[in-house]
Amino acid sequence: MGEGKTAEVLRNICYEILFPEIPRGKDYNPEVSWNKLIKIIKTMFGVDLNKPEYIKSLGIVKLEFIENKITYDISSGGRGFLQTLLLFAYMFANPNTVLLLDEPDAHLEVIRQRETFQRINEMAQETKSQKRGLENYFATPNLLMKHAKLLQMEYPQFSQQELEQAMQQAISDYTLPAYLKNLSDEWWNTEKLSDKWLDKIFPAFYKQLGVNFGLNFKKNYYQLISLLDKKDISNEISEKLDIIYELLTGSEITQ
């Protein structure tokens, strides 16, 4: 998908829903799953998704959708449409799985973002899947303060104290006092912190410093993970990552 082949991946996943290579169990009904998928897509985007068809002579899977009575190949869909369809199709094709989501609502209009998360939650429960957005576990005031302090090497014109003060002010300006007083509040685990929190704090932080950083501040987000103490990582996340590692490598993690 990183090579722009979302449509090709989608063809195979949608075909897998109706014609699974691996038995899904007695509770899995291909037709029911497919009908639920096309209903979601119809509700969200107003298009009708045709059943995938394997063209044996060409060795390809044909997948089309109808919009305003015009039939299009799936590759003609917009990025938000394709990404949403890919996510939901994967969930139906792979029930009882652990899903690690990275901005599943990217490329969607704001009005559809909340609906997407709501449906993801509903489908995860229906398909007996577990979903987790990892970013929420790696964004806390403490990590931001650590990050600000380390930026002194990149911006030697500022003292560590000045950097910490600027970050503390940004955090205070864009975080409700109730959340700062209680870091165990559910908000820290359920809010989309990268968009709703970090995207406000970092620009405010650099503005106080008088540094023109443009949109490149987002490149620092991944660095927060390296500042996280192992003891502060949620047991739930550790367990899920261990399971994924064992599945991918076939090796059991020794404690």
Element (H, E) at 49: strand 48-49
Mean pLDDT of the chain: 82
CATH architecture of 6-132: 3-Layer(aba) Sandwich (3.40)
Residue 71: strand pairing partners: 66
Q: Which residues are CB-contacts of 67 (< 8 A; sequence separation ≥ 6)?
A: 46, 47, 48
Q: Please name which of 112, 150, 113, 111 lies closest in space to residue 133, comparing C-alpha atoms.
A: 113
Per-residue pLDDT at 200: 92
Per-residue pLDDT at 133: 57
Residue 61: strand pairing partners: 54
Q: What is the pLDDT of residues 84-131, one digit of tens each?
A: 898 889 888 888 776 666 665 555 555 566 677 677 777 777 776 666
Residue with the bigger pLDDT between 241 and 206: it is 206
CB-count burial class (<10 Å; 0-12, 13-18, 19+) for 168: middle
For residues 206-223, give the mean pLDDT.
78
Residue 73: strand pairing partners: 64
Q: What is the pLDDT of residues 167-208, one digit of tens each?
A: 999 999 999 999 999 988 888 877 878 878 998 999 999 999
Q: What is the pLDDT of residues 26-59, one digit of tens each?
A: 778 899 999 999 999 999 899 999 999 999 998 8
> How many CA atoms lie less than 13 Å away from 178 in the CB half-sphere?
3
Residue with the bigger pLDDT between 229 and 131: it is 229
Locate the domains of the chain by residue range: 6-132, 136-235
Residue 244 CA to residue 241 CA, distance in Å, equals 5
